Amino acid sequence: EVQLVESGGGLVMPGGSLRLSCAASGFALSNYYMNWVRQAPGKGLEWVSSISSSNSYIYYADSVKGRFTISRDNAKNSLYLQMNSLRVEDTAVYHCARALIVGTTLAYFDYWGQGALVTVSS
């Protein structure tokens, strides 16, 4: 059974940093694009970042580019998101999600973790 379990969320002051982790089980992380998708309280879904299976391709939403860094450790079956210079508007539940590809193109998300709540507030 595929499982994705996030950890590392919490309350942080504006300008602070936080590192999220996602532990994957039930499949080999090394075979998939992995992603972070966030959802602000009561709001819709927003794609944040993606990393290809071999780390060759990394993408970020403009809203987090230069502040967030996605990484993975295939040996540990884990995905990470280092979040720096956090802003109030980064407050959200951050979901780890596995993506499938169409041809060679990053496509859609077939498994999601329950998410980690990140609250940025003074």
- Kindly state the smallest distance separating residue 17's Cβ from other proteins, in Å: 24
Q: Which is nearer to other proteins, 12 or 92 (CB)?
A: 92
- Kindly state the smallest distance separating residue 78's Cβ from other proteins, in Å: 19
Q: Cα(12)–Cα(2) distance, rounded to whole angstroms?
A: 30
Contact 91, 119 (CB under 8 A): yes
Q: Which residues between 82 and 101 bind other proteins (CB under 8 A)?
A: 95
Q: Cα(18)–Cα(81) distance, rounded to whole angstroms?
A: 8
Mapping DSSP to helix (H, G, I), strand (E, B) and coil, where does residue 90 land?
Answer: helix
Contact 93, 43 (CB under 8 A): no
Question: Per rule CB under 8 A, is residue 62 in the interface with other proteins?
Answer: yes
Question: Per rule CB under 8 A, is residue 36 in the interface with other proteins?
Answer: no
Side chain identity, residue 121: S
Q: Cα(98)–Cα(36) distance, rounded to whole angstroms?
A: 9
With CB under 8 A as the contact rule, which of the stretches 19-27, 55-63, 67-75, 77-85 interacts with other proteins? Answer: 55-63
Choose which of 1, 41, 75, 108 interacts with other proteins (CB under 8 A): 108
Which residues would be at the binding site for other proteins (CB under 8 A)? 44-47, 50, 59, 61-62, 95, 102, 105-110, 112-115
